[in-house]
Amino acid sequence: MQRLWAPWRLQYVTDQEPRQEGCFFCNAFNEVGNEEENLLLYRGEKAFVMLNRFPYNGGHLMIAPAKHYGDFEGAVEDEILEIWKLVALSKAVIRKVMKAEGVNIGVNQGKCAGAGVLDHLHVHVVPRWEGDVNFMPVFADIKVMPQALIECHRKLYPAFQEMATLL
């Protein structure tokens, strides 16, 4: 029998994840110099890219506006433009660095639509590979993550800084 070790998931599965004051999106954008701890990969003028702390797949990214609002109706044109440019950049980076064969891109608006964070708009960009779904999530309600978040950040961060010049 092989064992899968993922001790960093213990806080999440036991619901003991430390709570922080305020919005974690706003905190990540505003806390300059703490990109790795906040999992922030790229900070633009109006929007930013960060790793999802509770990902569906390795390299699961979220793009959010710097301004705090929960729905596209609160956005202005230049914010929407930057968000979608960062979606395109994110797709290019994860295809290059992680060799993703496909990408799911989505926005969940409203609790019944699956939104876990209702008050800060964000777009999910999830890398996909042929055969990345196995029996574990179906039968055991467990998702195996082969790479630690910090390792993933260390691989993606330099690529975002380099490839952002193409925006």
Residues labelled catalytic: 122
Phi-psi region of 49 (alpha: psi -120 to 50; beta: other; left: phi over 0): beta
Q: Angle, nearest 10°, between helix axes 77-97 and 149-163? A: 110
Following DSSP, what letter does each residue of 129-154 receive, concatenated? Answer: -TT---HIIIIIS-----S-HHHHHH
Does residue 116 sit in helix, strand or coil?
A: coil
Q: Is 105 exposed, middle or buried (0-12, 13-18, 19+ CB in 10 A)?
A: middle
Closest of 43, 156, 157, 49 to residue 94, by C-alpha: 156
Closest of 156, 148, 154, 151 to residue 8, by C-alpha: 148
